[in-house]
Each structure stands twice: as C-alpha cells, then as structure tokens.
C-alpha cells in the first residue's frame, strides 16, 4: 500500500491532466474532485480513474476544456449538454445553474446529458446543500452496460446511481449516494487492482453462479493493464432484489430517457446523464420547521439501540465524514497496483520522473 498526502496527490494528478491538454484550472478541478472521492472513502470514484480518463481522452471519448451548451432554458428548468467534456467540468456548471434557478423560483430541475464521467454524485448534493438546498439526482452511465436486473443474468443496466442531499445548518449534510448495483463498477476496478475485495455474491455468471472474481466482469487481465468490461462474460447484480432493480430502472428512464442522454445500451459512447431536482426549504417552509425537525429526527434515528457487533447507528454521510478526517490528516492509501497504473499513465503523458518521486516523498 502507498500512502500519498492529500495536497501532493492533488498536485500530481493535476500535473497528469495538464500534460493531457487540460487547462491548469480544469486539471486541478479534476484532481481535486477525484481526490475528494478518495478522502470520503469512495475509492471507486477517486484517482483510480486517472488511467481510465486519459484512455478515454486519447480515444476521443472525452474533450478537454469543453464548454457546455444550454439548448433549453426556462426560469425553473434547463437542459445542459456537456458535449462530452470532463464530468468535473460539466457537473459544477450544471449544479450551479440548478442552484441559481432554485433560489429564484424555489424549485428547479436540470437535465444534464452527454457528460464525461461525472464522478461522485455526492459532490453535487454537497454543493447544493452548502447553499441550503435539498437535491435529488437520478443518473445513468449510458454505454456502460454492467448490471443484471433482478431475476436476470444478462447485463441490461448501468450502475445507475441515485443520490439525495439534505442540508443541516452547522453540520455535514445528510447525503445518501449509492449505485443501484451491489457495488459500483469502480469497486470492481479497485478489487481488480489489489484493493478491497468484493462482497460475497456481488457478480453473477451467465449460468447464474454468484462470484466475487473481477475477471468475470473484465475477462482475463494483467494487474497493471487496462480493464475493459466488454470482455467479461458476467454482470454485477442489482442490489436489493426487485426494489433495487426497480430503482435502477427509474434512474435509467429519468437520467437517460428524460434528459435526452439516452438510457444505457451497447455500442454507444460513454456518457453520464443526470436528472436533478433542487428544492429550497425556505420557500416551502417559511416558519423554518424543517431544520429543527431534521435535527430532531436524526437524533431519534441514531438513538436506536445498536445491534450486536455494531458500535452505533449511523446516518448517510457519517462514515464519509470520519474517513475524510482520517485521510486528510494521514494521507490517502492506495494499493500498490493502483498507484503503479497511475504512475505509468503519468509517464505516458510526459510527467517528469522528478514529479513522480515528489508525489510520495
């Protein structure tokens, strides 16, 4: 395991993207969002993505320094076309637009399409919560057919993330953020590079056998080589039986069909679509009942007696806050194989050996 201090990791990853045609501002933005995902314990959406992003950029699937278009723009609703720019460039602009419209009208909706990998959706919920807004996000990863619906063994869904953010004045917001599959594809990627192993039965083979072997998703692969999920014969399973599978379907239809991005399918370029709803509690609740009731109910929820072997009842965001504090202080741990793949990518785009050594010195 390699441990990299936060600021050094951001600097190093920014150097990689700056060598791959991104402006200094975009390069640092991508690096900051990826590192933040690691800080919160979402390693699947962190710097492990660097080799993937650069490969997509080299293949023309992502365009650096892209400018969004807004083909539909009303006082409370807009469509944002990311034009296949980096998600860390498209996402903040789309969310900022949703926040502005919500503050003006009390309620807004933003349909984002054709975005590069938009990263940890919790970032966007946190961005809205920092402005005092509730937000709900339905997402598809079109072109990424990875997940078998409940009762099936063939891939028909993306990992179809769902996220809700609820602000809490003076405290971290409640942020529920999860893939509607047993694990995100990035967690399979982490496991395939020597990281945390998959939960039992996370994957399913064509004959219905359950498995935790990443090769079922990626096919045979070398430790430091690329991962191509189209080479695998199996699928990730939808979580929560019919309930999770049904929620995944809704994410595909709202995040994909409604936004114009398209729900996932084979033989199309990767693109995230995201349908986001923003709500201003101050407009719904001028008496400010909401904040106090959120505080009361969260306390009531967490006061439940823990089950055997459980230290405390937690709410969404508690683990992330703890991990963020630990890793900010002590650095981001990365499996040797993950770091080796990032370093090789850095060398491929022309980052100096001095910069490589400086990152871990």
In a domain, 199, yes or no: no
pLDDT band at 222 (very low <50, low <70, confident <90, very high): confident
Count how many domains the chain has: 2
Cα three-residue angle 173-176-181, rounded to 5 degrees = 160
Would residue 159 count as lying in a domain? Answer: yes
Q: Are residues 153 and 101 in the same domain?
A: yes
Give the confidence band of 189 by pLDDT, cuts at 50, 70, 90. confident
Identify the pLDDT of residue 217. 94
The pLDDT tens digits of the residues spanning 92-132 come to 999 999 999 999 999 999 999 999 999 999 999 999 999 99
Q: Answer yes or no: is 100 within a domain.
A: yes
119/166 same-domain check: yes
> Quick one: pLDDT at residue 111?
98
First to last CA, the chain: 15
> What's 86's domain CATH number?
3.30.1370.60
Per-residue confidence (pLDDT) for residue 229, from 0 to 100: 87
> How high is the pLDDT of residue 195?
83
- Rounded distance between C-alpha atoms, residue 77 and residue 196, angstroms: 41
The answer, yes or no, to whether residue 198 has pLDDT greater than 90, is yes
- Report residue 223 as tokens: 């430790």
What pLDDT was estimated at residue 182?
A: 95
Q: Is residue 106 located within the same domain as residue 129?
A: yes
Residue 101 resides in a domain: yes
224 has pLDDT over 90: no
Are 116 and 137 within one domain?
yes
Whether residues 37 and 175 share a domain: the answer is: no
What is the CATH classification number for the domain harbouring 32?
A: 1.10.1530.10
Q: What is the pLDDT of residues 46-97, one digit of tens each?
A: 999 999 999 999 999 999 999 999 999 999 999 999 999 999 999 999 999 9
Residue 80 lies in domain: 69-181+238-284
Q: Judge if 244 and 116 occupy the same domain.
A: yes
Within this chain, do residues 264 and 350 fall inside the same structural domain, yes or no? Answer: no
Q: Are residues 117 and 262 in the same domain?
A: yes
Q: Is pLDDT of 223 > 80? A: no
* Position 330 pLDDT exceeds 90: yes
Asked whether residue 16 falls in the same domain as residue 119, the answer is no
Grade residue 190 by pLDDT with cuts at 50, 70 and 90.
confident
> Does residue 191 form part of some domain?
no
In a domain, 145, yes or no: yes
Instruction: Give the 3-state secondary structure of the chain.
Output: CEEECHHHHHHHHHHHHHCCCCCHHHHHHHHHHHHHHHHCCCHHHCHHHHHHHHHHHHCCCCECCCCCEEEEECCCEEEEEEEEECHHHHHHHHHHHHHHHHHHHCEEEEEEEEECCCCCHHHHHHHHHCCCCEEEEEEEEECCCCEECCCCCCCCECCCCEEEEEEECCEEEEEEEECCECCCHHHHHHHHCCCCCCCCCCEECCCCCEECCCHHHHCCCCCCCCCCHHHCCCEEEECCHHHHHHHHHHHHHHHHHHCCCCCCCCCCCCEEEEEEEEECHHHHCCCCHHHHHHHHHHHHHHCCCCCCCCCCCCCCCHHHHHHHHHHHHHCEEECHHHHHHHHHHHHHHCCCHHHHHHHCC
14 and 129 belong to one structural domain: no
Of 250, 284, 318, the domain-final residue: 284
> Do 130 and 176 lie in a common domain?
yes
Judge whether 188 lies within some domain: no
Does residue 113 lie within any of the structural domains?
yes
Name the pLDDT band for 225 (thresholds 50, 70, 90): confident
Q: What is the pLDDT of residues 265-279, one digit of tens each?
A: 999 999 999 999 999
Identify whether residues 123 and 256 lie together within a single domain. Answer: yes
Mean pLDDT of the chain: 96
């Amino acid at each position: 395991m390699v441990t990299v201090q936060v600021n050094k990791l951001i600097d190093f990853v920014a150097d990689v993207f700056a060598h791959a045609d991104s402006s200094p501002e975009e390069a640092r933005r991508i690096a900051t969002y990826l590192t933040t995902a690691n800080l919160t314990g979402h390693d699947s959406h962190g710097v492990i993505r660097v080799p993937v992003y650069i490969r997509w950029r080299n293949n023309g699937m992502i365009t650096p320094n892209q400018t969004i278009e807004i083909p539909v723009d009303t006082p409370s609703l807009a469509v944002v076309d990311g034009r296949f720019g980096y998600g860390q460039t498209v996402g903040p602009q789309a969310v900022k637009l949703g926040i502005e419209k919500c503050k003006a009208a009390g309620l807004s909706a933003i349909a984002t399409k054709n975005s590069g990998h938009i990263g940890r959706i919790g970032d966007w919920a946190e961005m809205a919560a920092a402005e005092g807004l509730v937000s709900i996000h339905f997402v598809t990863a079109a072109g990424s057919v990875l997940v078998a619906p409940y009762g099936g063994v063939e891939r028909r869904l993306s990992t179809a993330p769902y996220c809700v953010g609820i602000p809490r004045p003076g405290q971290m917001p409640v942020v529920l953020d999860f893939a509607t599959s047993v694990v995100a594809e990035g967690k399979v990627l982490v496991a395939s590079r020597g990281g945390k192993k998959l939960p039992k039965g996370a994957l399913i083979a064509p004959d219905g056998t359950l498995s935790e072997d990443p090769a079922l998703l990626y096919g045979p692969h070398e430790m430091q080589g690329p991962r191509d999920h189209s080479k695998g014969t199996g699928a990730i399973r939808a979580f929560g039986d019919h309930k999770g599978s049904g929620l995944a379907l809704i994410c595909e239809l709202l995040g994909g069909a409604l936004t114009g991005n398209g729900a996932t399918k084979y033989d199309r370029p990767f693109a995230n679509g995201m349908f986001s709803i923003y709500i201003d509690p101050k407009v719904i609740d001028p008496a400010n009942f909401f904040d106090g009731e959120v505080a009361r109910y969260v306390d009531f929820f967490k006061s439940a007696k823990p089950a055997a072997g459980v230290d405390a009842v937690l709410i969404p965001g508690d683990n992330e806050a703890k991990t963020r504090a630990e890793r900010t202080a002590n650095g981001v741990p990365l499996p040797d194989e993950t770091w080796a793949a990032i370093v090789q990518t850095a060398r491929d785009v022309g980052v100096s050996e001095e910069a490589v050594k400086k990152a871990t010195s």
